[in-house]
Amino acid sequence: MALDKGFPFPLNSRTILVTGAASGIGRAAVLMALAGGAKVAAVDIDEPLLASLREEANADDEHLHTTAMDVTDIKTVPVVLGEIEQRLGVIDGLVCSAGVTFESPVLEITPGLWDRVIQLNLSGTFFVVQAVLRSLIAAELPGSIVTISSALGVSGRVNGTHYSASKAGVIGLTRSLALEVASKGIRVNCVAPGGVETPLMQRVLEANPTAAAQGLARIPLGRFGQPDDLASTICFLLSDLSGWTTGQTLHVNGGSLLM
């Protein structure tokens, strides 16, 4: 996405970290934040996809830094964030987009599978936020944090108990964080997507081929979302245009929860 004079979300004062940045919503958020003038650190476990993101973005090293990071490795996260801040400055914008899901009937969810989904979607979000908050509060700077939940964190889903539980947890986490850090000038909001055409969604549809038609029938606006639909909401929340918004969950789903 190329920046033009009419870009609605000015982010030129922000240093933004995006997790799960190599694909889907995270990738779109990186590209849109760069278009808004931000300095962006894009982290993911998929290094080849990160390399393709850098090529697509065509941004200089002063505006885009890509590096591998596993959000569940709580010992490594602060180290990587410290390296990012040495390059780009204190992180004052965060998008927690790293996530995973698996189709699994409730009686087939093993402790290992449960732990993997909860650790990545919920614990990974928390510990990255915690590390960013440490730097922001120490620097006495305001900031904006955006977590990513899901419509399924509200509605639930058959064969997705672990995923829905993790995403419901993100909503509660967001509210509590917003209350705790508001006095520091730090805002925390959540975006809850509906059905968005990402690689993650594609894997779900491949496991359940009838789900696409069923899902589309439940969307009043008549189409699945695109990553840019979510990226624009994320960039709004990162920008000063949402300066009096905190503790909120924005449901971006084409109206599917109305059904």
Catalytic residues: 163
186-193 and 15-19 as β-strands: parallel, antiparallel, unpaired? unpaired
Mapped to the 3 state alphabet, what secondary structure does the chain carry?
Answer: CCCCCCCCCCCCCCEEEEECCCCHHHHHHHHHHHHCCCEEEEEECCHHHHHHHHHHHCCCCCCEEEEECCCCCCCHHHHHHHHHHHHHCCCCEEEECCCCCCCCCHHHCCHHHHHHHHHHHHHHHHHHHHHHHHHHHHHCCCEEEEEECCCHHHHCCCCCHHHHHHHHHHHHHHHHHHHHHHHHCEEEEEEEECCECCHHHHHHHHHCCCHHHHHHHCCCCCCCECHHHHHHHHHHHHCHHHCCCCCCEEEECCCHHHC
**Tokens read off for 90:** 């204190």
Closest by CA to 94, choosing from 209, 237, 245, 248, is 237
